[in-house]
Amino acid sequence: MIKLFNYIKSSFRISGIIVLFIFAFPTTISAQENPPVPIDVQVRTARFLDFGAFVTGNGTGTLHVSYDSTPTTTGDVIIVDGQRITSALFDVFALPGTIINILPASNNFELTGSNGGTMYLNIADSDFSTGPTFVTQGSPTIPHEVYVGGTLNVSSVDSANPPGNYSGTIIINFIQE
């Protein structure tokens, strides 16, 4: 019976030493830090999308401006030389590591002419310099530049779209995750 008592007594000593050891040397468990709440994303329009001046013949066609401001035409659309053609530019301000999805509010934006008429502008995923999703990097005070192009569907001169200045509102959503 004395031996059994000594065994029980020593097992309590070992358990007590282990507990003291754990409390004496605490370990730190870390995980990914939560982002600051709320995540503040600001988008400012720095430059508008401009298709310049063009003429059409008897047929229809398209005028595409890529995000790097390179114009291309299809069909019966001819660009007038010397005209300013630019993609849109948006300055996005956000904390580094913010995931941003870009989503146009529509597949076709309506542009109305100063002399009547309607043309439609389409913005595809490939028209964004960053692609439709990107992660911000760098300082939140320095803008992350997002260039946006688009394709204008052009009708012939004989149609219901007379010559003039065409304009409209384009809504592009910058959604942070």
Residue 28 pLDDT greater than 80, yes or no: no
CATH of 39-176, picked from 2.60.40, 3.30.470, 2.60.120, 3.40.50, is 2.60.40
Q: What is the percentage of the chain residues whose pLDDT exceeds 90? A: 60
Residue 105 pLDDT greater than 60, yes or no: yes
Helical residues (DSSP H) of the chain, grouped into ranges:
2-24
The pLDDT assigned to 3 comes to 52
For the chain, the average pLDDT equals 83
The pLDDT assigned to 107 comes to 87
Q: Where are the domains of the chain?
A: 39-176
Give the alpha-carbon dihedral of 6, 12, 14, 16, to 10 degrees.
-150
DSSP 36-73: PSS---EEEEEE--B---EEEEEEEEEEEE-TTS-EEE
pTM for the whole structure: 0.76
The pLDDT assigned to 58 comes to 82
User: What confidence category does residue 162 fall into, taking pLDDT thresholds of 50, 70 and 90?
Assistant: confident
| Weakest mean pLDDT among 1-10, 36-45, 87-96, 147-156 | 1-10
Q: 106: Cβ–Cβ under 8 A, 6 or more apart, which residues? A: 171
Q: Which two structure tokens, joined as six digits, stand for 105?
A: 């509010």
User: What confidence category does residue 83 fall into, taking pLDDT thresholds of 50, 70 and 90?
Assistant: confident
What is the residue type of 31?
A
Q: Which two structure tokens, joined as six digits, stand for 6?
A: 């000594």
Task: Tokens 């692609």: give the residue.
Answer: 131
Residue 61 pLDDT greater than 80, yes or no: yes
